[in-house]
Amino acid sequence: MTGLSTDPDPVPGRNRPGKARAVLPDGGKSHLPTNPGPSGSGSLGCLTDLSRSIQSLPMRLGEFELHSLSDGFFGLDGGAMFGVVPKPVWERTNPADSRNRIRLAARPLLIVTDSERILVDTGIGDRWDDKARDIYHIEKIDTIESSLARVGFRPEDITKVVLTHLHFDHAGATTKLDDTGKPVPRFPNARHYVQQREWNAALTPNRRSRASYRPDDFLPVQEAGLLELIDGDWKLDLTARDTIRNAEHLGHVPSLELVLTGGHTPGHQIVLLKENSEFRNQKSEFKTAVFWGDLIPTSSHIATPYIMGYDLSPLETMEQKEKLVQQAIAGKWLSFFEHDPEFACGVIEEENGKPFLRPLAV
C-alpha cells in the first residue's frame, strides 16, 4: 500500500545512508557539542545545543549573516509527519513518544545585512491554552524574543518578516497579546510578505485545512497596514545599501528570492539567498542558502517520497522537492531546516543516487 516498505535504506535523507540517529535517554543532550555562543568568531556551524537552547552559531553568506533562531519545540503525530512512509522506517531516526508524537523544532531564520533584519517565519508563539500545550507537547525552552535578544536584536529591529505560509507553527509568533488581551503585531516595524494565494487559503480554509490556521496569527498584521501580498516568485529589493548599489553597477546583486512551491499549501514559498561574489567574505564557503519551510521540514524529509500527510498536493511537493534538491546538491546550497529537532542546517549531498544531509558541525 505504501510502496516504500521495501526500501533497504532506513531513511535515505538522514545523514549517510544506513546511519540512523541514536536514541538517547537524555533526549540527545549529551552527544551534542557545547555551543560557545553567537558571538563566537567565525561562522561555523549549526549543530544544536539542547542543554541551553537550540540556537546555532551564525553562518556567513557573502554580505548576509544568517542565524537559525529558536522558538522552542513541539510534537506532531509521527504518522502525519511522514505520510505513506511506514513507522518501522521513520521511527529509526525520529522516535515517537507514548502518544506517537515526534519532536520537532521551531527555527525561524534571521537574515542580517547592513540595512535589514529579515525574519523568515516566526515560530509557534505563546498564545496556547493548557489543552493545546498538552496535545502539541509545546516546550517553550526558547521564545523568538529571547532568541533574538541573544544575537542583540529586539522585535522592533526587524525590518521584514517573510512567512513561508500561515500555518500556526510558522506564523504563530507573528502576533502577541497586548495589555488588554488583544492580538497585535509582534514586529511593528516590519513589512510582512505572504503569498496572495496563501492569504486566500488561510481566510477561507476548507474543512481539512481549517485546524492549521488561526486568524489571530495574521489578521492583526493586515489591520496594522503591515501586510505585503505577493503573487508568484518574487525578489525582495535589498538595494538600499551603498555597497549593493555599487554591486548593481558591477552587475552583481545579492538577492533574496521568494520561490512559490505550493504543494504543502497553495501559497507555500521557500527563501533563496544568493550572495554577491564581489563582496564575499573569505570565510563564506557558500554562494546560495535556502530555507526550506515545510517543503523539507526536517532532514529526514530530503528523499523525494518522504512527504507529510498534511500536504494538500503531495505530488506537487514531490515534483518541486525533486527539482530543487537536485539544484541544492549541484550548487552546494547551505540548507536550513525549520523543524529538524537536531540539525539547524547542513549541505545536501548524494551518494549512490540517494541524497543525504551533511550536517555542519561547530
Instruction: Select the span of 90-98, 277-285, 294-302, 331-339 touching Zn ion (CB under 5 A).
Output: 294-302
* Residue 198 is a binding residue for Zn ion (CB under 5 A): no
Instruction: Please state, in angstroms and rounded to a whole number, the distance separating the CA atoms of residues 181 and 149.
Output: 24
Radius of gyration of the chain (CA): 19
* Closest distance of CB 108 from Zn ion, Å: 14
For residues 340 and 46, the answer to whether their CB atoms sit within 8 Å is no
Contacts of 347 by beta carbon, 8 Å cutoff, 6+ apart: 332, 333, 334, 335, 357, 358, 360
For residues 163 and 348, which CB has a smaller minimum distance to Zn ion in the complex?
163
Instruction: Please state, in angstroms and rounded to a whole number, the distance separating the CA atoms of residues 336 and 256.
Output: 15
Torsion of CA 155, 267, 90, 343, to 10 degrees: -30
For residues 38 and 205, which CB has a smaller minimum distance to Zn ion in the complex?
205
* Closest distance of CB 264 from Zn ion, Å: 6
Instruction: Please state, in angstroms and rounded to a whole number, the distance separating the CA atoms of residues 254 and 175.
Output: 30
* Residue 294 is a binding residue for Zn ion (CB under 5 A): yes
In sequence order, what E strands does the chain have?
Answer: 59-61, 64-68, 73-77, 101-105, 109-112, 117-120, 160-162, 175-177, 183-185, 191-195, 227-230, 234-236, 255-260, 269-274, 288-291, 334-336, 345-351, 354-359
Instruction: Select the span of 77-85, 235-243, 292-300, 352-360 touching Zn ion (CB under 5 A).
Output: 292-300
The residues facing 110 across adjacent strands are 67, 119
* Closest distance of CB 182 from Zn ion, Å: 26
Contacts of 266 by beta carbon, 8 Å cutoff, 6+ apart: 197, 198, 200, 201, 312, 313
* Closest distance of CB 170 from Zn ion, Å: 6
For residues 210 and 283, which CB has a smaller minimum distance to Zn ion in the complex?
210
Distance of CA 43 to the CA centre of its chain: 19
Which residues inside 135-174 make contact with Zn ion, applying CB under 5 A? 167
The residues facing 120 across adjacent strands are 109, 162
* Closest distance of CB 294 from Zn ion, Å: 4
Instruction: Select the span of 42-50, 123-131, 277-285, 293-301 touching Zn ion (CB under 5 A).
Output: 293-301
In sequence order, what E strands does 70-189 have?
Answer: 73-77, 101-105, 109-112, 117-120, 160-162, 175-177, 183-185
* Closest distance of CB 308 from Zn ion, Å: 8
Helix, strand or coil, per DSSP, at residue 170: helix
Instruction: Select the span of 53-61, 100-108, 290-298, 349-357 touching Zn ion (CB under 5 A).
Output: 290-298
* Residue 280 is a binding residue for Zn ion (CB under 5 A): no
User: How many residues belong to the site for Zn ion (CB under 5 A)?
Assistant: 2
Nearest residue to Zn ion, by Cβ distance, number only: 167
For residues 164 and 175, which CB has a smaller minimum distance to Zn ion in the complex?
164
* Closest distance of CB 260 from Zn ion, Å: 15
For residues 167 and 321, which CB has a smaller minimum distance to Zn ion in the complex?
167
For residues 65 and 121, which CB has a smaller minimum distance to Zn ion in the complex?
121
For residues 120 and 360, which CB has a smaller minimum distance to Zn ion in the complex?
120
* Closest distance of CB 169 from Zn ion, Å: 6
Residues at the interface with Zn ion (CB under 5 A):
167, 294
